[in-house]
Amino acid sequence: MNWLIKNCNKCEHKFAHLPNEKWKTVCPICYKAERGYSLTTSDHSLKKLQQIVTDQTKKMEENEKRKGNQEQMREFSIRLSKLEKMNTRLQVALHLKSREIKDLTLIRIDLERQLASRIRRRVVSSASIPRGMWKTLAFLCHPDRNPTNPDKAQDALTWLTDQQPHK
């Protein structure tokens, strides 16, 4: 016999019915109770079995849920370990980049030093007009000797004075 299983609309326990009894919506126990029929020993036995089936079903559902949770936890821990690996790789990259920055800073400092020393050398070379020549130039640039261009002579003398070789 091909029994079908259905949930009772009243007590929600499972009950079995035959294919030609699809109209049944409540279990035999609820059916009798609704009509005030007294329950037999086999009815009580069925009621007990209904309770056991319901409890087992609930337990199975909880197990499924727990398994689902464990599966989720496993997925989370896989994702977490992937993120940790990525973090490690990023830290290595960061370390390399900061070393590059340090190297570039050293190069910049060196270039600045070279530039400064070049500027200093140029100042020194412009200041190193031979003493005798400096005196001659100062003599010739004096405004008293250039009455036609006294302003230009004064400018030249001022500049020349700045370039006076050290005694």
Which residues contact Zn ion (rule: CB under 5 A)?
A: 8, 10-11, 27, 30
The residue assigned the tokens 């007009």 is 129
Alpha helix ranges (H) inside the chain = 28-34, 41-127, 131-141, 150-162
Minimal distance, residue 27 CB to Zn ion, in Å = 3
Closest to 13 in 3D by CA, of 30, 34, 36: 30
| Minimum CB distance to Zn ion smaller for 24 or for 142 | 24
Distance CA 112, CA 106 (A): 10
Distance CA 5, CA 115 (A): 94
Minimal distance, residue 44 CB to Zn ion, in Å = 13
| Minimum CB distance to Zn ion smaller for 41 or for 125 | 41
Q: CB within 8 A of 161, min separation 6: which ones?
A: 138
Length of the chain: 167
| Minimum CB distance to Zn ion smaller for 5 or for 124 | 5
Minimal distance, residue 52 CB to Zn ion, in Å = 15
Minimal distance, residue 38 CB to Zn ion, in Å = 16
| Minimum CB distance to Zn ion smaller for 30 or for 153 | 30
Tokens of 153: 């002579």
The residue assigned the tokens 């261009």 is 149
Minimal distance, residue 33 CB to Zn ion, in Å = 8
| Minimum CB distance to Zn ion smaller for 35 or for 167 | 35
